[in-house]
Structure 1
Amino acid sequence: MNLAILYRGPLASCNYDCPYCPFAKRRDPPELLRADRTALTRFTDWVAATTDVSLSVLFTPWGEGLTRSWYREAMVSLSQLPHVERVAIQTNLAARVDWLADADPGSAALWATYHPGQVEREQFLRRCARLAELGIRYSVGVVGLPEHLDEARALRAALPEEVYLWVNAAEGHRYDAAEEATWTELDPHFGYSVRPHLSLGEPCHAGETAVSVLGDGTVRRCHFIPSPIGNLYDGSWRAALKPRPCGNAICDCHIGYVHLKPLGLRDVFAGGVLERIPAGWPRQHDGAPALAGPALPLRTVGQSVVSPVSPK
């Protein structure tokens, strides 16, 4: 069995103040931080003990995890387990990355988001360069706001070609055909993010070979379908894994629609689904489709679109 787990504990604090994020500059009280650490320790203990399953883990905290020592420790310890194929985390890369020298570069990876106005580009690039020195796989992304375009272009020019730069469509922003084409020059897969995908009744890997896990062990099909299908710690999750059609009308966040079977993104991102790195990048990045699979019919190239998406 191969199972991808998207883990999200109680942590909701962040050291950045991005205007497009509801968790900007949020501080968690000490009791919540203790609860988050306890929950993460329980989870990593479960991963270590569950050796009959090939596991991949993506930490998707509401806030910033790598400023907390327990997430860094979890990344290192899980990367060293032989039955863990990948352990990755969504991060703003604010924390130093030298601790990754203790991680297994064959399984540890980062999904890093660059937030202009929150960090100097040179500092962010220094962290990226250090990741390369350590042999850690990583992708870099930005939120596709007009005021970010110059910085995104400068970032792309400064990054090595082998680093994939993704762009998330900004929540509530309208993209005309010209603007979509501009962002697609930076990210050939931007077309998947710029429009939500019709998902109701569509087959999905979520709930079959990928699940969402909360800090208390509640298992859901994905982050966007709240109904639980079992619990990690009582073993009920095993019997719950099965093919299911999606119950939501649309899917508009990468960590959700990457698992929609009609889109075929498991193949596009083969070997890098959790850290958001396309297969064969950069050799195969040319000619990526602007639209694939079921999507809202009015949101096609040449028309304005509105696409809400998590800034992560």
Structure 2
Amino acid sequence: MDLTLLYRGPLASCDYDCPYCPFAKRRDSREQLRADRARLERFTDWATAQTTDRLSLLFTPWGEGLVRSWYRRALTHLSHQPHIRRVAIQTNLSCRTDWIGDADLDTLALWCTYHPGQTPYDRFLAKCRELDRLGARFSVGIVGLPEHLDAARLLRADLPDRVYLWVNAAEGHTYDDAEAGVWTDLDPLFPYSRRPHASAGLPCRTGESVISVDGEGTVRRCHFVRTELGNLYDGTYRQALRPRPCPLATCDCHIGYVHLETLPLYDVFAGGVLERIPAPPVPRHDAPRTRLPLESAASRCP
């Protein structure tokens, strides 16, 4: 079986406090960190043992995972498992980078977000250049707020052309065509993020070949649909895997709508769906026809 899993454990602590981030921010206690570590290790053991499956894994923690040693160890270990096609994580890149040299760089990938005001630009750029020097596979992105435009332009100028710079539409921000055009000049795929996608009743890979898993092993079709499909560790989820339409009116987060079968994003991001790296060359797209008129921007993923 080819299966993609989005894992999100209980970790919620982050070293950044971005005002636009929809994720909860708190300091995890030692007990909470121990619990997160135990659950991640259980998931890692499970994934390691699934040698008859072909797995792709994306870690989407509420907080920042790579500042924790157990996330770095887990990604390094999983990257060396022959039945794991890709292991990726969303990160603000505030972590050390030397551990990456121990991973299999054909399997590991990083989805990196720059947050102006939370870290010096030169420090973040230096981390990106170190990733590039190590030969790591990574994308870099930013939230498309007006006050971030200069930083985004700097990133596009300073990053190698081969590094994809993505732009997420900001929560609560409406983009007129002129402003959207400015962001599209930096990220040709920004039109996919600009407005929510109509999804009700449409076919989606989630629940069939893509699932969401929490720290307890509870399986759902995706992070945004709360209906449970079973448990990862007792295997009950497997009997629930089947094609199913989306039950929600709209989908507005990349880690959700990238799996909609009505969008061409599996072709656009061929080989890099989890880490948000498009297949070269990056195409320029008009807003997809499945878009709803934007009445208000809903929350975006990081």
Name the TM-score, length of structure 1 as normaliser.
0.95
* Equivalent residue, structure 1, for 2:297: 307
Q: Quote the offset at 1:132 in angstroms.
A: 1.1
Once residues 201 and 23 of structure 2 are traced to their aligned partners in structure 1, the CA distance between those partners, rounded to angstroms, is: 32
Residue type of the alignment partner of 1:68: R
Once residues 203 and 279 of structure 1 are traced to their aligned partners in structure 2, the CA distance between those partners, rounded to angstroms, is: 23
Q: Quote the offset at 1:293 in angstroms.
A: 4.4
* Equivalent residue, structure 2, for 1:285: 282
Contact 1:143 1:311 in 2 (8 A): no
Match of 2:291 among 273, 280, 295: 295
Residue type of the alignment partner of 2:298: P
Runs (5+) with no aligned partner, structure 1? 300-304
1:90 aligns with 2:90: yes
**Runs of at least 4 residues off by over 6 Å:** none
Q: Quote the offset at 1:27 in angstroms.
A: 0.5
Paired residue secondary structure (1:175): coil
Change (3 A) 1:72 1:152: same
Once residues 102 and 299 of structure 2 are traced to their aligned partners in structure 1, the CA distance between those partners, rounded to angstroms, is: 34
Paired residue secondary structure (1:124): helix
Once residues 88 and 309 of structure 1 are traced to their aligned partners in structure 2, the CA distance between those partners, rounded to angstroms, is: 22
Point out the more displaced range, 20-29 or 55-64.
20-29
Change (3 A) 1:168 1:22: closer
Residue type of the alignment partner of 2:52: D
Change (3 A) 1:86 1:132: same
Residue type of the alignment partner of 1:206: T
Contact 2:24 2:62 in 1 (8 A): no
Paired residue secondary structure (1:62): coil
Residue type of the alignment partner of 1:289: H
Runs (5+) with no aligned partner, structure 2? none
Identity across matched positions, percent: 63
Q: Quote the offset at 1:25 in angstroms.
A: 5.2
Change (3 A) 1:25 1:245: closer
* Equivalent residue, structure 2, for 1:105: 105
Residue type of the alignment partner of 2:21: C
Paired residue secondary structure (1:261): coil
* Equivalent residue, structure 1, for 2:205: 205
Contact 2:254 2:301 in 1 (8 A): no
Once residues 27 and 131 of structure 2 are traced to their aligned partners in structure 1, the CA distance between those partners, rounded to angstroms, is: 28
Contact 1:190 1:290 in 2 (8 A): no
Once residues 184 and 22 of structure 1 are traced to their aligned partners in structure 2, the CA distance between those partners, rounded to angstroms, is: 23
* Equivalent residue, structure 1, for 2:21: 21
* Equivalent residue, structure 1, for 2:259: 259
Residue type of the alignment partner of 1:285: V
Once residues 23 and 33 of structure 1 are traced to their aligned partners in structure 2, the CA distance between those partners, rounded to angstroms, is: 17
Q: Quote the offset at 1:307 in angstroms.
A: 2.3
Residue type of the alignment partner of 2:282: H
Once residues 183 and 26 of structure 1 are traced to their aligned partners in structure 2, the CA distance between those partners, rounded to angstroms, is: 32
Q: Quote the offset at 1:39 in angstroms.
A: 0.3
Residue type of the alignment partner of 2:120: E
Contact 2:22 2:300 in 1 (8 A): no
Once residues 112 and 179 of structure 1 are traced to their aligned partners in structure 2, the CA distance between those partners, rounded to angstroms, is: 24
* Equivalent residue, structure 1, for 2:171: 171
What RMSD, in angstroms, separates the aligned Cα atoms of the two structures?
Answer: 1.1
Contact 1:14 1:23 in 2 (8 A): no
Residue by residue over 1:189-208, the C-alpha shift from the partner in whole angstroms, topping out at 9 and shown as x without a partner, is 00010100010000000011
Once residues 152 and 66 of structure 1 are traced to their aligned partners in structure 2, the CA distance between those partners, rounded to angstroms, is: 23
Paired residue secondary structure (1:236): coil
Once residues 59 and 5 of structure 1 are traced to their aligned partners in structure 2, the CA distance between those partners, rounded to angstroms, is: 8
1:149 aligns with 2:149: yes
Residue type of the alignment partner of 1:177: D
Q: How does 1:188-227 map to 2 (within 5 A)?
A: 188-227=188-227
Q: Quote the offset at 1:295 in angstroms.
A: 1.5
Paired residue secondary structure (1:273): coil
Contact 2:22 2:299 in 1 (8 A): no
Q: Quote the offset at 1:72 in angstroms.
A: 0.4
Paired residue secondary structure (1:221): strand
* Equivalent residue, structure 2, for 1:302: none
Point out the more displaced range, 25-34 or 41-50.
25-34
Q: Quote the offset at 1:292 in angstroms.
A: 1.8
* Equivalent residue, structure 2, for 1:131: 131
Change (3 A) 1:30 1:22: farther
Residue by residue over 1:127-168, the C-alpha shift from the partner in whole angstroms, topping out at 9 and shown as x without a partner, is 111111211100000000000000100111000000000000
Contact 2:105 2:137 in 1 (8 A): yes
Residue by residue over 1:228-287, the C-alpha shift from the partner in whole angstroms, topping out at 9 and shown as x without a partner, is 11110001121111100000000000000000000021111010000000012xxx224x
Paired residue secondary structure (2:117): coil
